Structure 1
Amino acid sequence: MQWRDLKARLLEAGSARISGEPADDFIAKSTAGPGAGGLGSVFFSMGSHRVKLAVNPASAIEIAHRGGGVAELYFEDQQIPGRLIRPGLHCPDQAFITVTESCIFSCRYCSVPRLHGKRKTVGEIMDLVESVRHRVSAISLTSGVAGSIENEEAYVCEVIRHLLFFDLPIGVSIYPAEKTPEKLFALGVAEVKFNIEAATPVLFAEMCPGLDYDRLWRVLDRSVELFGKGRVFSNVIIGLGENDAEMEACINQLTSHGVIPVLRPLNPVAGCTGASRPSAERLKHIYAMHSRALAAAGLDPTIALTMCTNCAGCDLVPGRDE
């Protein structure tokens, strides 16, 4: 089975149970997004390829850990040798940190507002990065919104000023105010990700009440002007109710603006509990659309330094999952 076919089928399933030797050092915990609050996830790799799967003792997929990261994936009567990758923070090779683990908004696909998490102090964040400094090549930041969008932006900017000490590329994904791109660019941030989340404005309004769809597009356009093509990203969730034509139109709109789409299979939690994860066949079909659109726009996801496109664990990424 080719890697892309295997990864699509694993992403359709979304989880694995872990057996064998203790694997605690290989389990990453999420404090942001749909995966927040769960049992954690593991990154299974074959060579340079990787996939992230949630830990679920009831999963039909098994990863047997033989020790030291050596592992075997048992899937549909196949035994597939590979490795578990030890994460930096949240994902391999990066210190990917959630600054504020709570949010005043209630996006339907996101678990964070229900968890009432805390805001990390600057000192806590510096200590976290220091703890993995020897095995990461980038720092990535995301954040909920504790009080106001503007207050969160100001706090994240203060965090960044301290993180410059590590002299690593920094990627940032927060809900933006109007001038967020200018402020992050002035601080020397390498890449930004501002998420339109849904393939159509109607779905966005349904899924993200209280957030401003038009502002996100203005901020994305300004970010491309400042950071350049290939350094600006936007999540789009696959499976919120869009059809393939709507998804293709959204992908083409983003790439035509110089933005690399990050196409994330729905994790059916929070207000989306009961929905289905997208099928492997649909993920591969959208991957083909994605590949064509990126090529036509001259965008290359493989140059990403930070955040989700650099990791490529949760999504099928053209150039990474060939």
Structure 2
Amino acid sequence: MEEDLIFKKATLALGGGIKLPEGFEIPVRVSHSTSGPGAGGDSVAFSFHGMRVKKSVSYDRGEFELHERDDGSLYLTHQGEPFIDEIRFDPVVYHCPEQAFFTLDPRCSFGCAFCASPRLPAADYKGLTDEDIAKKCLDAYNEMHVVAVSLTSGVMDNDVDRTADRFISCIKAVKKVLPDIRIGIEPYAGSESQIKAFKDAGADEIKLNIQAATPEIFAKVCPDLDRENILRCLGHAVRYFGKGHVTSNIIYGMGETHEDLEKCMCQLCEIGVIPTVRSLRHNKYNGESLKKAIGEPAPVTPEEMVEVARIHKDVLSRYGMDTRTCKTMCLECGCCDLVPFRDL
């Protein structure tokens, strides 16, 4: 049964949207994402058998269909066939369940081919101040179950220092109203001093993204970034935040082999960093830039997602690491990926 559920989560995570029954009223707030795999789209979160996914929904069409029984319980079919026997809506705080996750600024000067955020319509930039974010966090905490606040951002005008200062001021603003809340951040850090400043401001966890499994692919998809400096900063981050509280995205599906992935995972684990392994997602915002950088990538299949997740879990086990030490950001949310020790 567990094997079947793991494959079903992979199929749902990688597949298309969910068609809703005619006249069905969505019982939760619809989320509009400006970062992550769903950037630029409206979606809701679902949970089933201890797993979570975040999916777009529509009354017109969908690869999956939601159905409501007479007793109000919900189930999914896939292409007309029974798929998930019981599923429920999982309320999103901001961007994900149980977390207030904000993008400080989706605009970015770095030309990473896979990233949709800086290619979103200008109207998607909300322009929230630190005080706006702190108030939204406090209101959400008082009204919902909130376990963490998480922050990410693009880098405007190549000004890493200014972006770091914005993270620091926002962390302090949130800590002022919620002194005991856990805060996770996903910045682009340029130096050890910035990482120390993030920790001193009150951040509990940090994600600095290596993005690609090999230096060769990284150079194609992130031509404006310095991979070696990211690795150095990850080492600094482990010293300040501690093993088990530093993570790094590796995106797969960009031409790397599974051996490349495993080698990169091991490289991160050796310095105390938990890899966050994520399949490449294509959409109308990043499709052209990806094609220019790496050609037409083959879609990641559910079978591959499951296989990569098992490699991921094996590597973490070898190094005595566990995703459950992370209490913020993507590993705590789990909507977009198969997460070792949580989903399998």
Residue 272 (str. 1) matches residue 290 (str. 2): yes
Summarize deviations over 1:45-99 as a string: whole Å, max 9, x none.
1142212223365431123467999532112511521101010100000000101
Summarize deviations over 1:236-278 as a string: whole Å, max 9, x none.
1121111111111111111122111111111113123764431
Tell me, what secondary structure is at the counterpart of 2:138?
helix
Summarize deviations over 1:104-138 as a string: whole Å, max 9, x none.
11211112222243542112212221331132111
Larger Rg: 2
Residue 51 (str. 1) matches residue 53 (str. 2): yes
In structure 2, how many angstroms separate the alpha carbons of the residues matched to 1:149 and 1:243? 32
Q: Partner of 2:328 in structure 1? A: 306
Residue 163 (str. 1) matches residue 174 (str. 2): yes
**Aligned partner (choices 91, 97, 117) of residue 96 of structure 2:** 91
In structure 2, how many angstroms separate the alpha carbons of the residues matched to 1:125 and 1:238? 32
Q: 1:283 corresponds to which letter in structure 2? A: M
In structure 1, how many angstroms separate the alpha carbons of the residues matched to 2:315 and 2:43? 30
In structure 1, how many angstroms separate the alpha carbons of the residues matched to 2:45 and 2:36? 17
Distance 1:184 1:194, change over 3 A: same
Q: Partner of 2:82 in structure 1? A: 78
Contact 2:255–2:297 (CA under 8 A) maintained in structure 1: no
Summarize deviations over 1:13-67 as a string: whole Å, max 9, x none.
15323335222724222112442222x2222211422122233654311234679
Contact 1:69–1:85 (CA under 8 A) maintained in structure 2: no
Q: 1:279 corresponds to which letter in structure 2? A: T
Q: 1:105 corresponds to which letter in structure 2? A: F
Q: Partner of 2:313 in structure 1? A: 291
In structure 2, how many angstroms separate the alpha carbons of the residues matched to 1:51 and 1:69? 20
Q: 1:35 corresponds to which letter in structure 2? A: G
In the TM superposition, what are the counterparts of 1:79-228 in structure 2 within 5 Å? 79=83, 80-115=85-120, 116=122, 117-134=125-142, 135=144, 136-147=146-157, 148-165=159-176, 166-167=178-179, 168-178=181-191, 179-228=193-242
Distance 1:70 1:207, change over 3 A: farther
TM-score (norm 2): 0.87
Q: 1:120 corresponds to which letter in structure 2? A: L
For structure 2, the residue ranges without an aligned partner over 5 or more in a row are none
In structure 1, how many angstroms separate the alpha carbons of the residues matched to 2:70 and 2:32? 20
Q: Partner of 2:251 in structure 1? A: 237
Q: Partner of 1:3 in structure 2? A: 5
Summarize deviations over 1:203-222 as a string: whole Å, max 9, x none.
11111121111111001111
Q: 2:256 corresponds to which letter in structure 1? A: E
**Aligned partner (choices 292, 303, 315) of residue 281 of structure 1:** 303
Tell me, what secondary structure is at the counterpart of 1:25?
coil
Q: 1:6 corresponds to which letter in structure 2? A: K
In structure 2, how many angstroms separate the alpha carbons of the residues matched to 1:69 and 1:209? 51
Contact 2:210–2:250 (CA under 8 A) maintained in structure 1: yes
**Aligned partner (choices 266, 271, 277) of residue 252 of structure 1:** 266
Distance 1:209 1:50, change over 3 A: same
Tell me, what secondary structure is at the counterpart of 1:176?
coil
Summarize deviations over 1:118-177 as a string: whole Å, max 9, x none.
542112212221331132111000011123111000111011111102120000001112
TM-score (norm 1): 0.93
RMSD over equivalenced CA pairs, Å: 2.1
